[in-house]
A = this chain, B = another copy of it.
């Protein structure tokens, strides 16, 4: 791993649950030397990617990230397009909706609309979802270039629950089913007691760039409901894809009609 890779690795240690870290703690978690870790952090800090609390000396993600993310969002308004659609779908289905974007071999959760019900699935914004073993991942693979699928197969597939699909041919079957139906389904593949369906968000070239998923407690799901959720996910994801590909006039007319 190059120096830049290490710096990024450090950034990835900051999560929704653990948004602040001390120096030694980071060095331990990353398995880097303390001196190395510190040099990387100083470099990141001078670039605004992390900040150090003046008194506690702990590090957290920096404002430079917000800035760059906003520049990206200006040019490619993923959130702006996604949030209203996800919100509508959450209302409609009463379940938790999460939207993710492909990033560096995984799906990065960029928005979550939590179900209003007491018994609901919780997903954290910022969480990285593996391509195998989540409904989102399967849906993504089903609409990716073959190279993405191959790269995924080559890597070791971790089992998150006893139900996780880890066998290459089983994964292939699931992906093909998703490609045929237009949506994927995964029961307890990533977390026990959770059933999800997901549909791909497509880029201008027709390949998946992200996914939209509906996650429900298993107890509320049967095949009929899952099918309905799947179709709803497809519609919502299509809506997002269309708006991202900038069909301003056609879509506006369609929605108005």
Contact = CB atoms under 8 A, between A and B. Distances in A.
Interface of A: 2-5, 7-9, 11-12, 14-16, 19-20, 39-40, 43-49, 51, 54-55, 60-76, 78-79, 101-105, 108-111, 124-126, 128, 145, 205, 207, 210
Contacts of A55: 205
- 9 closest pairs, A vs B, by CB? A8-B47, A69-B69, A48-B104, A48-B103, A4-B43, A19-B75, A71-B126, A63-B103, A67-B108
A62 B105 CA distance: 12
A64 to B, nearest CB: 5
Contact of A126 (B43, B67, B76, B105): B67
A54 B16 contact: no
Contacts of A210: 63
User: How many of these chains are in the complex?
Assistant: 2
Nearest to A126: B71
Contacts of A79: 66
A110 B16 contact: no
B2 A43 contact: yes
A65 B72 contact: yes
Contacts of A19: 71-72, 74-76
13 contacts: A3-B3, A4-B40, A8-B44, A8-B48, A19-B74, A19-B76, A48-B103, A61-B72, A66-B72, A66-B78, A66-B108, A66-B110, A74-B124
Contacts of A4: 3-4, 7, 40, 43-44, 47
Nearest to A101: B63
A7 B126 CA distance: 22
B71 A110 contact: no
Nearest to A110: B66
B5 A46 contact: yes
A104 B8 contact: no
B47 A104 contact: yes
A151 to B, nearest CB: 12
A63 B108 contact: yes
A202 to B, nearest CB: 13
Contacts of A66: 69, 72-73, 78-79, 101, 108, 110
Contact of A14 (B8, B71, B111): B71
Which of A7, A48, A71 gathers the greatest number of chain B CB atoms within 10 Å?
A71
B61 A65 contact: no
Given A72-B19, A73-B66, A126-B68, A48 B108 contact: yes
